Structure 1
Amino acid sequence: MSILPDAKLYIDGAIRDAEGGKTFDIIGPWTGDVVGKAADASPADVDAAIVAARTAFDTTDWADNHQKRFELVSKMFELLVADRERISTLARVEAGAAIGAVSRAHVDMAVACYKDLLDLFPQVKWEKDYGIKGPEGYKSDRKVVYEAIGVVAAITPWNVPLYVNVGKVVSALLAGCTVILKPAPNTPGMGSIFGEWAEKAGFPKGVLNVITGEDPAMAGETMVNDPRVDLISFTGSSAVGRRIMEQGAKTLKRVFLELGGKSAKIVLDDAPNFQQEIAQSMLVFHAGQGCAVQSRLLVPRSRYEEAKAILSAAYAGFGDNWGEFDNPGHMMGPVISKRQQDRVKSYIDLGIEEGATLLAGGKLRPDKGGGFFIEPTAFGDVTNDMRIAREEIFGPVLVVIPFEDDADAIRIANDSDYGLSGGVVSASEERALNVAKKVRSGSISVNGGMCIAGDLPFGGYKASGIGREWGVEGIEEFLESKVIAIRVTA
């Protein structure tokens, strides 16, 4: 297994160690062994990053010089592309990505979506004319200008770290904000590398800062509570998102939250290639560690037994075609950590206790290696009130739920605390669209349409979050609007 270079802090334009040279171990999901070291930031290091970001925003032209920052963010993109081999290694060794997943969400999709943000930048409106209006003697020429909100703390997860880091950091920088990136403790290298790119690109001091740390909460809570930080952009669990909202209220901080999901894929009774559609619903990509994965499969009760049989056969056919580090055809590796492995297994045990039928998988797989392997798993005979149907498992666990008709499918899909994504499949586009429009989620695929892309806004309803990431809307999340009215005297 590869040994990664040390992940360093990047504060006020300098790549450096943490205070006192303190480090922590990076544990590789494939082996369970130490694969690298990362700087373990102290409260003083976090404060230094906040000071640097605040000073850069308040005393430089970063927020006003649109062309300068576009050129620098574009230069960082070139450096990222040139570093594809290294970031691919980070995705595999740190995050546990299988080779097949690297060429999709982990690296190639992140690169494509970064390019989308650059291409969208000219569409951002910095000023809007509202014309002359008002009572006689007080007519005013009005306009709204859009300005960067200020210092942004980007707190990111471990599941697809490059993709999420790009979505937050690049959007905020393009908007004119200064940024402090705090990656998850499991994947610090994929955050630290942004500091290296910023230094090589020639970013002004303090515009981008990166802090890593073993404690998952200390740095984040410090920034949430600090009035010098203007906005928190967080991707992670709904429970942590609620805590960030509570703490951020003390300073009336703007909070953007991209949280959990329990998305439903609805396969209607007239779905073309029904057997293929059910079979390809297996939840195996990156071991199901994605907030927008379709982890609830809703099928017509009239074809429920057929669907369960198809899935059982599909999982059996999939067999052991996963979990090999050097196999380019594999899309699934381990889960991120022992803690996550234990969590997923506890949900599998719970599903059995709740009375669901195990159609496939369900076991830990120590024979795959010393890391955190758990089989692709599917449950039938699931009702939507079971915890395995309601709570985000964040692992390779699919639940299959029957519905009576279209209205019942919509009811079940919406009977959830979450509303992030989903899908509908039907031979009738009109019928599928009618269902899609009634599902309360931030994005939904119709007949396999790609509803997540760098030029589209992404976010959720209900406990799935607040605000939108990606697209022009994702850049605009980091802007404030200011009304300017000039009295017309002539």
Structure 2
Amino acid sequence: MLQEIDWHARAKAVALPNRPFIDGQYVDSLSGETFACIYPGDGRPLTDVASCNAADVDVAVRSARKAFEAGVWSRMAPADRRRILLRFSELILANREELALLETLNVGKPIANAYNGDVVSAAACIAWYAEAIDKVYGEVAATAYDMTTLVMREPLGIVAAVVPWNYPMSMAAWKLGPALATGNSVILKPAEQSPFTALKFGELAIEAGMPPGVLNVVPGLGHIAGKALGLHMDVDCVGFTGSTEVGKYFMQYSGQSNIKRIGLELGGKSPQVVLADCDDLDAAAAGIAAGIFANTGQVCNAGSRLIVDEKIHDQLLEKIAAQAKVFAPGDPLDTATRMGSMVSEEQMDRVLGYIDAGRADGARPVIGGGRVKTETGGFYIEPTIFEGVRNDMKIAQEEIFGPVLSAIPVKGFDEAMATANDTVYGLAGAVWTGSVKNAHRAAKSLRAGVVWVNCFDRGSLAVPFGGFKQSGFGRDKSLHAMDKYTDLKAVWFAH
């Protein structure tokens, strides 16, 4: 089905949602201000999108609060919420072609990835939390004989879900699933680079039977609409995925307003540790290449630091370079493309700046190192591998968010672990080894929220995802994600 569609023709005809979705319908923004959405595959303007400000945010919050206090969702029977969320998931899949196309037009990812990956994973996430609704119980605490004590879980109220542009649908679903399942009203604020699918989600939620006001969507600039949500006195929680820099702003906004709950999934500089006893360098090379070049490296847990024992350094780099060839940048609307464009010219220039900094610091490109496909007008960077990297270099310490791998040679297990942990981030990490002993030692040694052993970027909705240190706190996915969007209430009965 995917290959049978003329995606270029579909792109010319698709309707692009560009207005806020509030109280069950598309509305005009109060200010009338807009921002331009650009297709990063060729640099052409797609449409202007309403840029919500604090006044628009306030309208969305009042709508969400009205719905929450009326109990049309928060006090709905769990089985009925389950039914509506399952219908929402079904509608996401039913609109698979349109959603995949909107995602690719916004962010330049390969249409095959959007169609087979992002849409499917978002629908699966909503369905998973729908099914979890009536599987999470309260508690009866062990108290004195003449007392009965209940521990109940209640929704927080109004949740602002502020999501990034690298996986717009998936990241939205990671917030919407648990927040809606637990009875909250949600205001979804997509990144300004990728508003289309979030706005379509609002429309599909109403079609699924969700009451107006339960899910509102406000497109806008981060420093305006995002800040307004962070400072709003009637927003009870912000679930944010994005950069560590912006995550710190939300911490400040919470303190400056109503001490709202904050959940943060932030930046990363994930190490791929390859020990000298690794007995399958081909598998390691394939996992490492995919871990940095998939989604053009625009992944929070991208394995951007290769920490490799010097005994196998050269052999492994040769194998990774060979694997990188399948990630040659191509037309995002071509179903054969494995790696599309960067999300924007700004992001492309940022990554190229890091590549220049790597050269200036003395690192050497093994492959790549520049912009390609300039004739298209799009924003493409070729897969890049640096050797001769020291862990104190800029390219080894700062999150690049692009297809750039830094190879850092080490001697032995202890130096590998010390180097891997020598970063402010702690989102994820991996170790490649043929030793069961070293696998367990490394899993305990790596300071990261997710550790993979002889694999990379495996995931499941049943397993929590989140980081240590400046990669944030709180978890997405699994039942643990529901903790972020609920409060515990203890109720004592004397008898």
TM range (shorter): over 0.9
Inter-CA distance 77–424: structure 2 relative to 1 (3 Å threshold): same
Give the 5 Å matches for 1:253-292: 253-282=260-289, 283-292=292-301
Q: Which residue of the other structure, out of 298, 309, 314, is the alignment partner of 1:305?
A: 314
Say if 2:36 is the partner of 1:29.
no
Say if 2:49 is the partner of 1:38.
yes
Inter-CA distance 225–334: structure 2 relative to 1 (3 Å threshold): same
How does the TM-score come out when normalised to structure 1?
Answer: 0.94
Q: Which residue of the other structure, out of 104, 117, 120, is the alignment partner of 1:108?
A: 120
Query: For 2:81 and 2:211, how far apart are their aligned partners in 1?
Result: 10
Give the 5 Å matches for 1:149-228: 149-213=156-220, 215-228=221-234
Return the letter of the residue paired with 2:47.
G
Q: Which residue of the other structure, out of 230, 239, 256, is the alignment partner of 2:245?
A: 239
Query: For 2:83 and 2:394, how far apart are their aligned partners in 1?
Result: 49
DSSP-derived class of the 1:79 partner: helix
Q: CA deviation at 1:314?
A: 4.0
Partner of 1:118: 130
Q: Which residue of the other structure, out of 223, 248, 253, is the alignment partner of 2:254?
A: 248
Please say if residues 153 and 179 of structure 1, whose CA atoms lie closer than 8 Å, have aligned partners that are also in contact. Answer: yes
Inter-CA distance 277–304: structure 2 relative to 1 (3 Å threshold): same
Percent of matched pairs sharing the same residue = 35
Query: For 2:304 and 2:456, how far apart are their aligned partners in 1?
Result: 17
Q: CA deviation at 1:74?
A: 1.5
Give the 5 Å matches for 1:70-469: 70-103=82-115, 105-125=117-137, 127-133=138-144, 139-213=146-220, 215-250=221-256, 251-282=258-289, 283-315=292-324, 317-318=325-326, 321-367=328-374, 369-448=376-455, 451-469=458-476
Return the letter of the residue paired with 1:457.
P
Query: For 2:389 and 2:181, how far apart are their aligned partners in 1?
Result: 46
DSSP-derived class of the 2:448 partner: coil
Q: CA deviation at 1:375?
A: 1.0
How does the TM-score come out when normalised to structure 2?
Answer: 0.93
RMSD over aligned Cα atoms: 1.8
Please say if residues 324 and 368 of structure 1, whose CA atoms lie closer than 8 Å, have aligned partners that are also in contact. Answer: no
Inter-CA distance 85–312: structure 2 relative to 1 (3 Å threshold): closer
Partner of 1:5: 16
Q: CA deviation at 1:22?
A: 4.2
Residue range with higher mean Cα deviation, 12-21 or 30-39: 12-21
Return the letter of the residue paired with 1:306.
Q
DSSP-derived class of the 1:224 partner: helix
Query: For 1:408 and 1:384, how far apart are their aligned partners in 2?
Result: 11
Q: Deviations over 1:78-113 (max 9, x none)?
A: 111100001110121111111342255422332333
Query: For 1:450 and 1:337, how far apart are their aligned partners in 2?
Result: 24
Say if 2:68 is the partner of 1:62.
no
Please say if residues 101 and 332 of structure 1, whose CA atoms lie closer than 8 Å, have aligned partners that are also in contact. Answer: no
Query: For 2:350 and 2:470, how far apart are their aligned partners in 1?
Result: 20
DSSP-derived class of the 2:55 partner: helix
Please say if residues 140 and 487 of structure 1, whose CA atoms lie closer than 8 Å, have aligned partners that are also in contact. Answer: yes
Return the letter of the residue paired with 2:231.
N
Q: CA deviation at 1:151?
A: 0.4
Give the 5 Å matches for 1:461-480: 461-480=468-487
Return the letter of the residue paired with 2:51.
D
Say if 2:58 is the partner of 1:52.
no
Query: For 1:133 and 1:218, how far apart are their aligned partners in 2?
Result: 52
Query: For 2:169 and 2:323, how far apart are their aligned partners in 1?
Result: 31
Q: CA deviation at 1:377?
A: 0.6
Q: Deviations over 1:125-184 (max 9, x none)?
A: 2x20003328xxxx4221211100110011111101000011111210001100100101
Inter-CA distance 237–104: structure 2 relative to 1 (3 Å threshold): farther
Return the letter of the residue paired with 2:242.
G
Return the letter of the residue paired with 2:223.
A
Q: CA deviation at 1:49?
A: 0.3
Please say if residues 117 and 470 of structure 1, whose CA atoms lie closer than 8 Å, have aligned partners that are also in contact. Answer: no
Number of positions where the alignment pairs a residue of Structure 1 with one of Structure 2: 480
Q: Deviations over 1:37-89 (max 9, x none)?
A: 32222432211101011111122242232222222211111111100001110
Q: Where does structure 2 lack aligned partners over 5 or more consecutive residues?
A: 1-7
Q: CA deviation at 1:450?
A: 5.6
Query: For 2:116 and 2:442, how far apart are their aligned partners in 1?
Result: 28
Query: For 1:347 and 1:297, how far apart are their aligned partners in 2?
Result: 17
Query: For 1:59 and 1:118, how far apart are their aligned partners in 2?
Result: 21
DSSP-derived class of the 1:294 partner: coil
Please say if residues 113 and 455 of structure 1, whose CA atoms lie closer than 8 Å, have aligned partners that are also in contact. Answer: no
Partner of 2:3: none
Q: Deviations over 1:166-212 (max 9, x none)?
A: 11112100011001001011111111011111221222121111111
